[in-house]
Amino acid sequence: MMPPDTPSIVLVRPQLAENVGTAARAMMNCALTDLRMVMPREDWLADKAIAAASGAEAVLRQARAYDSTEAALADCHRVYATTARRREMIKPVMTPRHAAGVIRDAAGRGERCAVLFGPERTGLENDDVAMADAVVEVPLNPAHSSLNLAQAVLLVGYEWFQAGIDRPPVELSASGAEKADRAMLMTFFRHLEAELDACGFLRNADKRPGMVRNLRSLFGRADLTVPEVRTLHGVVKELRWGRRPDRPKRVEGGVPTPWAGDNEE
């Protein structure tokens, strides 16, 4: 496992091996070595990828592939999604420079960060962006703002590298609670969504995907810690318990007693 001080670069469904190679070259330029890919279409160790990497073969050889974006982000505490277009979800929008400083500060607290990059032609899907804490947009000429994959990786990587020169290290706080990683958040999301399905809140099949994305985005913006996620699990479990008609009455300082109806004090 890579140390948390350098962000992971996550290429979601990259199409061409040579584009993965040039992205690896951009990473090595900026001292980034943790390359993760979600369902790459071509072999990232093909000759054309190695040639395009131009000396950054080590990044390709230690790269890992995953079956889903969720799996690729499981050990990450903070996620930033690069996108060229605004989405119908509320998330902080940062420039690469702003994001680089935030990532440096988070890494100083021992938090693992990841930056998502979408497929070359279509960019990230909404479900991918919904997993992010914030969106990263590159301010460029509105008449021609498209970047290829390696250019986008290099811009983000350069700003991260430069932030290490410009910013002092962050002092750790011994009293600070650990931030929940993506695996913990996704477990909570599934728990919450299962209960919302059970009570009928998500019964509209057409609206369900958008509602789920909005809920995940809402809790993702909350910057939840490990104790807070555990509390939320407890809240959801208690709400489910409260729907039972035979729910025992809770007695402060004692054990629950059987529910005796509205007339009991």
Q: What is the number of residues in the chain?
A: 265
Mode of pairing for the β-strands spanning 93-94 and 134-136: parallel
90-107: per-residue pLDDT in tens? Answer: 889 999 999 999 999 998
| Residues 21, 53 contacting (CB under 8 angstroms) | yes
Cα 18 to Cα 16: distance, rounded to the nearest angstrom: 5
| Cβ contacts of 170 within 8 Å, gap of 6 or more | 104, 105, 108, 109
Domains and CATH numbers, the chain: 8-166 (3.40.1280.10), 182-242 (1.10.8)
142-193: per-residue pLDDT in tens? Answer: 888 889 999 999 999 999 999 888 665 555 444 567 888 888 888 988 898 8
User: Is pLDDT larger for residue 110 or for residue 239?
Assistant: 110
The mean predicted confidence, pLDDT, of the chain is 85
Q: What's the whole-model pTM score? A: 0.73
Q: What percent of the chain has pLDDT over 70?
A: 85
Q: What is the DSSP letter of 152?
A: H
| Residues 137, 93 contacting (CB under 8 angstroms) | yes
